Amino acid sequence: MNPTSQTTNLRPTNAAKANQLMKKATQLLFMVAVIGQFLFVVHIVSFYGSSFFTGDYEHWNKVLYNGLIAGDIIGNIALMVHLFLAAVITFCGPLQFIPKVRTKYPTFHSWNGRVYILTAILISLAGLYMVFSRGVIGGQIMAMGNTLNASLIILFAVLAWKTAVARNFTAHKRWAIRTFLVVSGVWFFRIGFGLWIAINGGAAPGSTEDLGGPFDVFLAFAHSLLPLIILELYFYAKQKDNSTVKYAMASFLFVLSGLLGVGVFMAAMIFWMPS
Ligand code: HEM
C-alpha cells in the first residue's frame, strides 16, 4: 500500500475540519455568554438581594419603572418572586449545557432541568402579571414584545420537558437550547442596548427615554426572535453537507462572539456595575 495515501486517509476531511471549527466557535460563544450571564446574576443578587435582606426596598424603586407600589400586595409579591427566580434561572441555565456536567452527573442534569423549566414558566407568569396589571416602560409595543417573549418561554419549556420525558433526546436538545435563548431574552435586551451604544460611540440613536423609539421597538421583538433565527441558521449549517456553509457559519459565530463580548462589557458598565 502506498504510505502517502494512507496518511491522506488519516487526515480529517474538509467537512470534519469545518465541523470542528463550528464547534470551537460555539464553545467561544457559550463561554462569553456564561461570563455575561454570571455578571447579570451578580447584579441581581448584589443589588436586589442585598437590599431585600437589609429591608431597603426603596433602593429598588430607584432603578425599576414601577418597582414596589404601596397597597399593591399581589404586584409586589409578583415582583419579588420574579427577581428571586431571575437569579435562580440565570444561574441554573448555563449548567445544563456543559457537556461534562450532563454526562458525569445525569441526575443533577435532570433535576436542574426540572427546576429550570418550572422556574421559566413561573417567572414568565409573574412577568405577565406585572405587565398587564401595572404596565411597562415602552407602552403597548414593549408589552407585546414581553408577551411574545413570555409565550415562547412557556411553549418551548413545555416542549423541552415533553421531549425529555419521551426520551427523544435529539429534539429535546434543540428545544432546550431554544428555551435557553428565549429565557435569556431580557439579558439579550441589555446586551443589545450595550452593543448599540458601543457601535454609536456612546449614543443610542433610535432610542428614547420612554423606550418608544424605532430602535426600542426593534429590540422589543428582536431580543426574542433574533437569537432564534441565528440558532436555526446554525442548525441548518450543522446538518448541511457543505464545508463552505459550515466555514461561513463558524466565521459568523466568531464575529458574533466578539460582538457579544462588547455587548456584555457595555451592559456591565452601564447597567450592572453601577448597582
Ligand atoms: C425569563 C427570564 C427573565 C429574567 C432573568 C428576568 C429578570 C428581570 C430582572 C433582573 C428585572 C429587574 C430589572 C433589572 O435589574 O434589570 C426584571 C424586571 C421586570 N421583568 Fe423580568 N425577567 C425575565 C422574564 C420576564 C418576562 C417574560 C416578562 C414579561 C412577560 C418580564 C417582565 C418584567 C417586568 C415588567 C419588570 C419590571 C418591573 C418594574 O419595573 O417594576 N420579565 N426582570
58-87 pLDDT tens trace = 889 989 999 999 999 999 999 999 999 999
**Does 6 score more than 80 pLDDT?**
no
User: Quick one: residue 261, left, alpha or beta (phi over 0 = left, psi -120 to 50 = alpha)?
Assistant: alpha
> Is residue 214 over pLDDT 90?
yes
- Which pLDDT value is given to residue 1? 42
On whether residue 216 sits in a domain, the answer given is yes
Contacts of 131 (CB under 8 A, 6+ apart): 143, 146, 147, 150
Specify if 131 maps to a domain.
yes
Residue 248 burial (10 A CB sphere; 0-12, 13-18, 19+)? middle
Does residue 26 sit within a domain? no
Domain presence at residue 165:
yes
pLDDT tens profile 155-178: 999 999 999 999 999 999 999 999
Q: What is the mean pLDDT of residues 197-201?
A: 97
- Number of domains making up the chain: 1
| pLDDT of 5 strictly over 50 | no
Average pLDDT for the chain:
94
5 falls within a domain: no
For 192, residues 6+ apart whose C-beta sits below 8 A from its C-beta are 219, 222, 223, 263
Whole-number Cα distances in Å, 247 to 26, 231, 241, 243: 13, 16, 12, 6
Radius of gyration of the chain (CA): 21
Kindly give the number of the ligand 1 atom that is closest to the alpha carbon of 147: 30
Residue 33 resides in a domain: no
Q: Which residues span the domain enclosing 218?
A: 39-272
The predicted pLDDT at position 57 comes to: 84
**Average confidence (pLDDT) over 44-55:** 91
Which atom of ligand 1 has the smallest separation from the CA of 86? Answer: 5
Using 50, 70 and 90 to split pLDDT, how confident is the model at 11? Answer: low
| Nearest one of 269, 268, 209, 270 to 39, comparing CA atoms | 268
Residue with cell 411574545: 148
Q: Pocket around ligand 1: residues whose beta carbon is below 6 Å from it? A: 44, 64-67, 79, 82-83, 86, 89-90, 120, 123-124, 127-128, 130-131, 136, 146, 149-150, 153, 183, 186
- Mean pLDDT lowest among 1-15, 51-65, 183-197, 218-232: 1-15
| 260, three cell numbers | 457579544
Distance CA 254, CA 251 (A): 5
Which bin fits 12, alpha (ψ -120 to 50), beta or left (φ > 0)?
A: beta
How much is the pLDDT for 93? 95
> Domain for residue 32, yes or no?
no
Q: DSSP 3-state assignment of 207?
A: coil
